[in-house]
Amino acid sequence: MSRSAPFPTSAPFPTSGAAAPVAVAARATELSKVYGQGETRVVALDAVSVEFRRAEFTAIMGPSGSGKSTLMHCMAGLDSLSSGSARIGDVELASLNDRELTRLRRGRVGFVFQAFNLLPTLNAIENITLPMDIAGRRPDQAWLDQIVATMGLSARLTHRPSQLSGGQQQRVAVARALASQPEIIFADEPTGNLDSRSGAELLGFLQESVPALRQTVVMVTHDPVAASYADRVIFLADGRIVDELRGPSADAVLDRMKAFDSKGRTN
């Protein structure tokens, strides 16, 4: 499938650098998360260690209940850890108090959720710049213009969410995540509510942002086709990382998932 690049090819950073050191945008080390206790105790994450490299697009897959959302929430500072470590850049999340965590999330992390989480009373551009407004940061106008244009939202900026289609609303949500140029974007089933064409457009946009902007993207998905847009896929089962695939095709992802399913049935 050929997709046109939404970003200029003259990226502000080198798009590949054999000699460039590998920078890690986020890292989990022996991360465990336990919910409840006694009979209701659930080990959602069991000593997970994983790196998310800068300018890499990672998909997280695995059966329902395998810990995908928990991993993302712990990495994004939305949930506390039971043990181990989660870092964004060099910052150990457990060392931050609530205020510092909030500041880190606002300044350094972008989110795209399945529910678009747009404020109904704000129009599109107000929603896009809201996190920066809250953080007291002035948006880079040229950058904002570029995102808005490439997302095809120029004619929709004064529309409120209720006046936009689902695909348009999700593009506003992605524009909002990209606008502050966060170190890492966490996306939870970002195409879950979209038709396949809107979903493909959105994934193409996220994919292009990786080399063009050196954006780091981590996406939870159930969909092998969505996962195939990523540079690598990690597979979770029972709170552990059980496999990883680089340069995934949808078929390869599907085969891997089928293999887990059949193991699950025979074990």
**Residue 221 contacts ligand ATP per CB under 6 A:** no
CB 188 within 8 A of CB 220: yes
Q: Does residue 181 belong to the site contacting ligand ATP (CB under 6 A)?
A: no
Q: Does residue 192 bind ligand ATP (CB under 6 A)?
A: no
User: 83-88 and 184-188: which strand pairing?
Assistant: unpaired
Give the containing element (helix H, strand E) for 234. Answer: strand 232-237
- 12 belongs to the binding site for ligand ATP (CB under 6 A): no
| Contact call for residue 42 and ligand ATP (CB under 6 A) | yes
Stretch of residues binding ligand ATP (CB under 6 A), selected from 66-74, 130-138, 211-219, 247-255:
66-74
| Under 8 Å between Cβ of 119 and 164 | no
Task: Determine contact, residues 61/228, Cβ cutoff 8 Å.
Answer: no
Residues numbered 67 to 96 that lie near ligand ATP (CB under 6 A) are 67-70
By the rule CB under 6 A, 217 interacts with ligand ATP: no
Q: Is the separation of the CB atoms in 236 and 74 below 8 Å?
A: no
Please report, for residues 34, 243, 257, the alpha-carbon distance to residue 219 in angstroms, rounded to integers and kept in the order given.
22, 16, 17
Q: Of 7, 32, 46, 65, which one interacts with ligand ATP (CB under 6 A)?
A: 65
Taking the complex as a whole, how short is the minimal distance between the CB of residue 254 and ligand ATP, in angstroms? 16
Among 62-70, 160-168, 195-203, 205-213, the segment contacting ligand ATP (CB under 6 A): 62-70
Q: With contacts defined by CB under 6 A, name the span among 3-11, 34-42, 147-155, 173-181 that binds ligand ATP.
A: 34-42
Q: Are 145 and 218 in contact (CB under 8 A)?
A: no
Per-residue tokens: 225: 């086709």
Q: Which residue ranges make up the site for ligand ATP (CB under 6 A)?
A: 35-36, 42, 44, 62, 64-70
